[in-house]
Copies of this chain bind each other. A is one copy, B any other.
Amino acid sequence: MSQGRERVYINDVAPRDGLQIEKQWVATADKVRLIDGLMATGLARVEATSFVSPRAIPNLADAAEVVQGIRRVSGVGIVVLVPNVKGCERALASGVDEINLVMSASESHSRANLRMSPEQSLAQFAEIVDLAKGSGVFVNGSLSTAFGCPFDGEVPQSRVLGFIERLLELGVEGVTLADTTGMANPAQVARLCEAVMTRWSQVPFTLHVHNTRGMGLANCLAAWQSGVTQFDAALGGLGGCPFAPGATGNVCTEDLVHMFEQMGVDTGVDLAALIELSTTLPELVGHDVPGQVAKAGPADRRYPCPAGL
């Protein structure tokens, strides 16, 4: 089953994709503490914040202060989301390792979420890529609703492949396939991942899935079987989907690390440290979080046999 893919690389997006939708304001110092904690566990990357307009996402209004506050760790990349040219300028000035540009593969989600068409996103990306050129900052492009759109329904694979081609032509260096609203299934993930890994074998692809319908880990498994070794996940399973009330958020980092480590696939992550950090989340965000391994303990935890037996 492993087929030689014995190391995976996980990008924790909780500070950005998680905190952006929380009702409770998280203090800058607490955000920095969370990011520092994540970096100390051995994760490959952390998506720390978004250089978005404070009016659009008040929770992340402290983007520059957060990036400035982080204690940098060698070998751990700091990623930030960049929604436009102005955000790119701020991100480059802050000294991050990677910028993540996000567009939607579907028209309606693009207009609802980004207030522009996919074509307008691509036009803007061209300017951003030009700006980042020569900075040494890695440019990643994320394709939201790559596995389906809650408004438009099915997004044909040919359409997704077409947008990836356009992104790469613009100079984007890595691509994230995002299941923004948790619609993907393992067969579909395997089909798309196999298609992109075959066609662009030199491009680093990342899978970003939400656990909305419980398929988060199954989808990561299917992607890994197809050759994907980079995954987005959020500590505690933070994040959510505004169109699915009661649903869980991003696939949970500690649950994903636990699955891979149990399978004998190296994540480079200290699971115990990750679980400890996850247990601080309910106080930070003011509610329980959906991650399961932090509650149940890892599968190799032993319990004393009931007395008298």
Residues of A participating in the B interface, judged by any CB pair closer than 8 Å? 1-2, 108, 111-112, 115, 148, 150-151, 153, 182-188, 190-191, 211-218, 220-222, 241, 243-248, 252, 255, 258-259, 262-265, 291-293, 295-306, 309
User: Are A292 and B218 in contact, CB atoms less than 8 angstroms apart?
Assistant: no
Chain B positions within 8 Å of A246 at CB level: 295-296
For A184, A186, A245, A300, the residue with the greatest tally of chain B CB atoms inside 10 Å of its CB is: A186
Chain B positions within 8 Å of A1 at CB level: 186-187, 190-191, 222
Q: List 16 A-B contacts (CB under 8 A).
A: A112-B305, A115-B309, A150-B301, A150-B302, A182-B296, A182-B299, A183-B299, A185-B259, A185-B263, A185-B299, A187-B264, A211-B214, A213-B255, A218-B259, A246-B295, A247-B292
Chain B positions within 8 Å of A190 at CB level: 1
User: Are A309 and B259 in contact, CB atoms less than 8 angstroms apart?
Assistant: no
User: Are B295 and A247 in contact, CB atoms less than 8 angstroms apart?
Assistant: yes
User: Are B244 and A296 in contact, CB atoms less than 8 angstroms apart?
Assistant: yes
Chain B positions within 8 Å of A108 at CB level: 305, 309
Q: A281 to nearest B CB, angstroms?
A: 14
Q: A20 to nearest B CB, angstroms?
A: 17
User: Are A259 and B186 in contact, CB atoms less than 8 angstroms apart?
Assistant: yes
- Contact residues of A: prevailing secondary structure: loop
Q: A295 to nearest B CB, angstroms?
A: 4
Q: A110 to nearest B CB, angstroms?
A: 10
For A153, A221, A243, the residue with the greatest tally of chain B CB atoms inside 10 Å of its CB is: A221
Chain B positions within 8 Å of A262 at CB level: 185, 187-188
Chain B positions within 8 Å of A245 at CB level: 295
Could you tell me the distance between the alpha carbons of A270 and B148 in the complex, rounded to whole angstroms? Answer: 22
Chain B positions within 8 Å of A214 at CB level: 211, 216-217, 252, 255, 259, 291-293
Could you tell me the distance between the alpha carbons of A145 and B305 in the complex, rounded to whole angstroms? Answer: 14
Q: A251 to nearest B CB, angstroms?
A: 9
Q: A207 to nearest B CB, angstroms?
A: 14
User: Are B259 and A303 in contact, CB atoms less than 8 angstroms apart?
Assistant: no
User: Are B292 and A186 in contact, CB atoms less than 8 angstroms apart?
Assistant: no
